[in-house]
Amino acid sequence: MLILLNKPYGTLCQFTGEGATLAGLVPVPDVYPAGRLDRDSEGLLLLTDDGALQARIAEPRHKLPKTYLAQVEGVPGDEALTALRTGVTLKDGPTRPAEADLAAEPEGLWPRDPPIRVRKSVPDSWLRLTLTEGRNRQVRRMTAAVGHPTLRLIRWAIGPLTVEGLAPGAWREATAAEVAALRRPAPRVGGAGARRNF
């Protein structure tokens, strides 16, 4: 079984603990998150009871691309985008090349609760970032390293699967075709890549 969940802001990626957890959202026994999303991040979380599939999704050696929408302070220019595309040096070493493009806010994007902090003197913009590794708070550290701190972070896609059509807290079971697509080798990621309209 594979479940697609739109994890809301403020929810922990575990079934036990204080505060909002997955237990209040997914009443399905014996499924576990394949990878994590921080409490203050939103978007697609996959849960499964299949150990091999969990490893395929979560382990960096498989280089499964994960796409994020990051609302950041300021408007990144060519220099910042080039740095994100070629790799940013963080405290735990350089990142792999990523796809990085300015993006429009997706149509019909759900509001965050609570809203992000807004500074009237500083504009904000959206980035689409596709990574093939999953270090702790990596997107936030990458955007901060190029001078554009992340205000809101949404994981939009894992491989071919997206959160599109799922409201915060909603989930659905993946189709057989989606599971098969997820098991296929990941495409190469790096550089500017093809632009997407979201």
- Degrees, nearest 5: CA angle 59-99-140: 70
Taking the C-alpha atoms of residue 80 and residue 148, their distance in angstroms, rounded to an integer, is 9
d(CA 37, CA 31): 16
CA distance 12 to 28: 16
Question: Which residue type is seen at 112?
Answer: R
State yes or no: is 50 an active-site residue. Answer: no
CA-angle at 149, arms to 163 and 152, nearest 5°: 30
CB 131 within 8 A of CB 98: yes
User: What whole-number distance in Å separates Cα of residue 71 and Cα of residue 14?
Assistant: 25
Catalytic residue among 38, 40, 49, 50: 38
Catalytic residue annotation: 38
